[in-house]
Amino acid sequence: MSSKIPSEVSGFLYTSETLLTIDEFSRVCAVERRQIIELVEEGVLVPVGSQVAEWRLPGDSLRRAQTAVRLQRDLGINLAGVALALELMDELERLRSLFGTHPFGRA
């Protein structure tokens, strides 16, 4: 869900211009640092920087990370399944933006 819509989390507005360290990002998502690293390794999140210590994650990807965490926690979906689910959700969002609320043009 690489949305252009800013994310609001805990009263703060995070945009694509807001870059968070991995520790800040994991703190806002209320998950361990390792879980954010795993999401990056699976391709769910895309950081700026090549080394973990240098990573900066865009604030607008917080919603995507929180959705991934909920899919894992609440539904027990593994990382590969989370990546696929998010990819399908992105595609559905893209289709809705092209065709309106229903992907096949119906009301």
Per-residue pLDDT for 10 more than 60? no
Do the domain assignments include residue 11? yes
Average pLDDT over residues 1-21: 62
Do the domain assignments include residue 21? yes
Average pLDDT over residues 67-76: 94
- Euclidean distance between CA atoms 25 and 62, whole angstroms: 7
Per-residue pLDDT for 106 more than 80? no
Average pLDDT of the chain is 84
- Euclidean distance between CA atoms 89 and 15, whole angstroms: 20
pLDDT tens-digit readout, 73-85: 999 999 999 999 9
Per-residue pLDDT for 6 more than 50? no
Domain that holds residue 68: 7-99
Do the domain assignments include residue 105? no
Measured CA angle at 10 (ends 87, 33), to 5 deg? 60
pLDDT for residue 102 = 62
Do the domain assignments include residue 70? yes
Do the domain assignments include residue 104? no
Domain CATH code at residue 93? 1.10.1660.10
Do the domain assignments include residue 74? yes
pLDDT for residue 1 = 42
Q: Which residues contact 28 (CB under 8 A, 6 or more apart)?
A: 9, 10, 14, 20, 62
- Euclidean distance between CA atoms 21 and 18, whole angstroms: 10
Do the domain assignments include residue 1? no
pLDDT tens-digit readout, 54-64: 999 998 899 99
Average pLDDT over residues 32-37: 94
Do the domain assignments include residue 44? yes
Confidence grade of residue 14 (pLDDT, cut at 50, 70, 90): confident
The H or E element containing residue 70 is helix 62-75
Tally of structural domains, the chain: 1
